Structure 1
């Protein structure tokens, strides 16, 4: 009788433990379940998952088959889990020369040409045109009163009053179009950005990918377009801005283009609440990285030239899949859009494409919880980029505390990290968003050792910490999806107006 009682007691305890485990499926994630996919996604065989590469496609298929296994449905309008995206690869010229006045600028050392057919421009007039910007709302027209036909136009970088790299990069095509429409033979932007010139040239001085124009290559692609670094000991550019006349000689061998297909991966999990299931939480992470060798932009050797991207962003991708599994085991009240995006390393292009071509109307999407990071230097924290902006702070702390992690809010605010990851593609449309990152407290040598380096391999990741990171992300996804109160932008936030416009009745 005592044996039977003891057996019954033990059986009851085990059933209670099982019930507790299944009532919170996010805690059912094991270390093996996060380590195995991390090792696969960051393996040499996937070759750094560069957008458009075979390794990128394999990673996409791997994610899609997990979503299929978990019971996620294809999004409306898709035949399967892939949202196809057309990219255009551009290869800059191998040689070029530039002289303004009597000053020679050395190719790559002082200037680069990013687009433009082969050309030889001799003694063309140079015109300074502010930012080369036109804004009908404010009445700004930097070309007003200027004749630039047949001339080389030099402008300040990006839009006026915008120094964030993504804003500068997104303005490139529009500024080139405006100069071309006014008859310019070339456009040169002055390099006055916050990061080193060699970082810029390593990115734009090699083959680059961008979203392919829907109408095909633009005519403005034929015009010479580039960037130049000013010489600090020569006043030519300052004199040009002051109105002095200059002539320029510019020669370029031209550049080449080709089409490159890639894809976002999208799955839908219907919510359990009859009313709230019509609202959606977007969970996102980018699964691409920078590739192999010269593609990666960092140092490499014959022994190791693969930029595996374990931290950036195989960790985020696995956290996304872990949350997908946990939520499918016990469906939350709201529906889930599981979105793995491509092209983040090219300028957030996959998330930009989705936000402009949403498969569920964005006004039905209450929040974007994105996960991405440069790595971690604390295994006691998760870091939140977007802290105190959407009314989700208490939920974030609860999600982290459940697995004994602390929150480090807004690391390296001077880096403007919020506008440098995929969450900004949704925030700019008005959807409240934040970026959930591994424990980054500052940019230091620990981060630099792995960020966009060949050393960023799965073997170097602290797996027990990684498990907690995935668990906490799954916790937060459920808390937001089930919470009665919808997140909203804090009053005065730069994206508050876009949110009011998106969700207006």
Structure 2
């Protein structure tokens, strides 16, 4: 073999190697474990008081992230306030006292009744059953057709005609309240027929909650004297049965102590510009939520006087740390496409920070070609990166390569019965059409190992495997880089439930 032939063969062999084999000098290969550990130990420290949205610890976390963005030299995004995108919330406190009588059946707040919103003096009126209390212009369904509910208490079944699964029930709440108000009702009461215990539901919702301030919960659209709540039928089954059969029922309702106030929090956003002149106007969006559930009764789990802080080391200080690792590595050596780094608030209260950005993006979503989110309930196998959305966006080879180079395997779509894809921030962007998925620390199933830490005060930094955090962060960064460097833009696989939204967003033809 002559010299030229040997040289050509060597070049051909080099070009045939996977991209990750050619790029072992990329910064993620030299990322220091100690730096990642320092990030996580601060974010999940007691000083941050569980990082609950709208509270001091959440603000401290946002300030820390902003300082890290600045230290790594991220550009600010037009329209942001420094590295902040302010997110307005409304804090809603349920009534301190409320009661409802349906004929002779009595319901009391905190016992068999949960009024979530509204103040009303003692009012005597009629109760009307309105099936699901639902209307849909597309299908022509209207439970209020022919019903006179003006000035009355409307009692309805949970959910919609299409389903009564918990996610359907919760997503339908706002529209059902709006429909009842539009039809002139003074109150909407849903019958509690969900699959988990009433006591759990009561403890979760009978406390201050946050919603986006521009949501239909706002004062302008939800008057403080409109009452919304749930009741547990219990011994009143006969009265409820008579009502659902269309028989007349007298109602007496009172509620006091409901309040609302404005609360501000921040998404933390920065960017780097891509290196490819033709691709730098396309953006890779990396996301992680930095909020958690706070302290004491707000945490939703067991706590003691000695330990009442839900530190959220796994959920989601690990993901936020991985995002900071990506900030450092990708800013040191940018990929071909530009990258937006978005640490979102409000995930634990309904994906609200990511929803706000998706509705009011600082970079147009049609220029956002992919969302790689990182979030997790915990991990029970440190040999894996779990991928929620694997097989849906044409990015599997990049995901596999990003994990494998650091000695990790890919566990695709864990716990499908949990519908995890639609329970994290990637869903906010997928609904708009942006191809999206979520990388999660090695979750294979919801077992006792996950339950031991998920939303528990035990989820603190001392329980984290920092060697695994190091590998997981490197895999997240590498996956992001490989996708951002691809010639072709990712897109939903044919038939995916978000394909149509993607077609609309990017004006693609079928």
- State TM-score, norm by structure 1: 0.92
Deviation at 1:194, TM superposition (A): 4.0
Q: For 1:232 and 1:399, locate their aligned partners in 2 and report how far apart those are by CA, in whole Å.
A: 57
Q: Give the root-mean-square deviation of aligned CA atoms.
A: 1.9
The equivalent position to 1:395 in structure 2, one of 388, 393, 398, is 398
| 1:372–1:178 distance in 2 versus 1, CA, 3 Å | same
Kept after mapping to 2: 8 A contact 1:427/1:495: yes
Instruction: Map residues 278-427 of structure 1 onto 2, 5 A cutoff.
Output: 278-427=281-430
Deviation at 1:50, TM superposition (A): 0.6
Q: For 1:60 and 1:162, locate their aligned partners in 2 and report how far apart those are by CA, in whole Å.
A: 38
Task: Indicate yes or no: 2:276 matched with 1:273.
Answer: yes
1:399-444 per-residue CA deviation (whole Å, 9 max, x = no partner) reads: 1111111111111111111111111100111111111111111111
Please identify, of 40-49 and 216-225, the stretch whose mean Cα deviation from structure 2 is larger: 216-225
Kept after mapping to 2: 8 A contact 1:176/1:220: no
Q: For 1:311 and 1:247, locate their aligned partners in 2 and report how far apart those are by CA, in whole Å.
A: 50
Kept after mapping to 2: 8 A contact 1:292/1:305: yes
Q: For 2:163 and 2:474, locate their aligned partners in 1 and report how far apart those are by CA, in whole Å.
A: 37
Kept after mapping to 2: 8 A contact 1:21/1:28: no
Kept after mapping to 2: 8 A contact 1:282/1:368: yes
1:117-138 per-residue CA deviation (whole Å, 9 max, x = no partner) reads: 133233x221121222222222
> Which position in structure 1 is the counterpart of 2:69?
67
Task: Indicate yes or no: 2:473 matched with 1:473.
Answer: no
Q: For 1:163 and 1:320, locate their aligned partners in 2 and report how far apart those are by CA, in whole Å.
A: 36
Deviation at 1:354, TM superposition (A): 0.4
> Which position in structure 2 is the counterpart of 1:211?
212
> Which position in structure 1 is the counterpart of 2:13?
none
Q: For 1:488 and 1:393, locate their aligned partners in 2 and report how far apart those are by CA, in whole Å.
A: 12
Which SS does the other structure have where 2:91 is aligned?
strand
Q: For 1:323 and 1:274, locate their aligned partners in 2 and report how far apart those are by CA, in whole Å.
A: 22
Please identify, of 151-160 and 265-274, the stretch whose mean Cα deviation from structure 2 is larger: 151-160
Q: For 1:358 and 1:195, locate their aligned partners in 2 and report how far apart those are by CA, in whole Å.
A: 36
Find runs of 4+ consecutive structure 1 residues off by over 6 angstroms: 19-22
Kept after mapping to 2: 8 A contact 1:308/1:457: yes
Q: For 1:82 and 1:107, locate their aligned partners in 2 and report how far apart those are by CA, in whole Å.
A: 39
Instruction: Map residues 192-271 of structure 1 onto 2, 5 A cutoff.
Output: 192-213=193-214, 216-231=219-234, 234-271=237-274
> Which position in structure 1 is the counterpart of 2:192?
191
Kept after mapping to 2: 8 A contact 1:400/1:407: yes
Equivalenced residue count is: 486
Deviation at 1:55, TM superposition (A): 1.0
Which SS does the other structure have where 1:324 is aligned?
helix
Kept after mapping to 2: 8 A contact 1:378/1:441: yes
Kept after mapping to 2: 8 A contact 1:88/1:209: yes
1:277-336 per-residue CA deviation (whole Å, 9 max, x = no partner) reads: 111111001000111111111111110111111011100100011011111111001111
Kept after mapping to 2: 8 A contact 1:118/1:254: no
Kept after mapping to 2: 8 A contact 1:362/1:431: yes
Kept after mapping to 1: 8 A contact 2:105/2:236: no
| 1:430–1:177 distance in 2 versus 1, CA, 3 Å | same
| 1:93–1:343 distance in 2 versus 1, CA, 3 Å | same
> Which position in structure 1 is the counterpart of 2:170?
169
Deviation at 1:495, TM superposition (A): 1.0
Deviation at 1:238, TM superposition (A): 3.6
Q: For 2:483 and 2:403, locate their aligned partners in 1 and report how far apart those are by CA, in whole Å.
A: 13
> Which position in structure 2 is the counterpart of 1:77?
79
Which SS does the other structure have where 1:150 is aligned?
coil
Which SS does the other structure have where 1:307 is aligned?
coil
Deviation at 1:167, TM superposition (A): 4.6
> Which position in structure 1 is the counterpart of 2:157?
156
Which consecutive residues of structure 1, in runs of 5 or more, have no partner in the other structure? 1-18
> Which position in structure 1 is the counterpart of 2:110?
108
Kept after mapping to 1: 8 A contact 2:94/2:206: yes
Which SS does the other structure have where 1:291 is aligned?
coil
| 1:369–1:167 distance in 2 versus 1, CA, 3 Å | farther
> Which position in structure 1 is the counterpart of 2:454?
451
Kept after mapping to 2: 8 A contact 1:115/1:254: no
> Which position in structure 1 is the counterpart of 2:6?
none
Q: For 1:294 and 1:363, locate their aligned partners in 2 and report how far apart those are by CA, in whole Å.
A: 41
Please identify, of 361-370 and 149-158, the stretch whose mean Cα deviation from structure 2 is larger: 149-158
Q: For 2:120 and 2:474, locate their aligned partners in 1 and report how far apart those are by CA, in whole Å.
A: 54
Task: Indicate yes or no: 2:443 matched with 1:440.
Answer: yes
Kept after mapping to 2: 8 A contact 1:118/1:255: no
Q: For 1:498 and 1:156, locate their aligned partners in 2 and report how far apart those are by CA, in whole Å.
A: 30
Deviation at 1:372, TM superposition (A): 0.6
Which consecutive residues of structure 2, in runs of 5 or more, have no partner in the other structure? 1-20
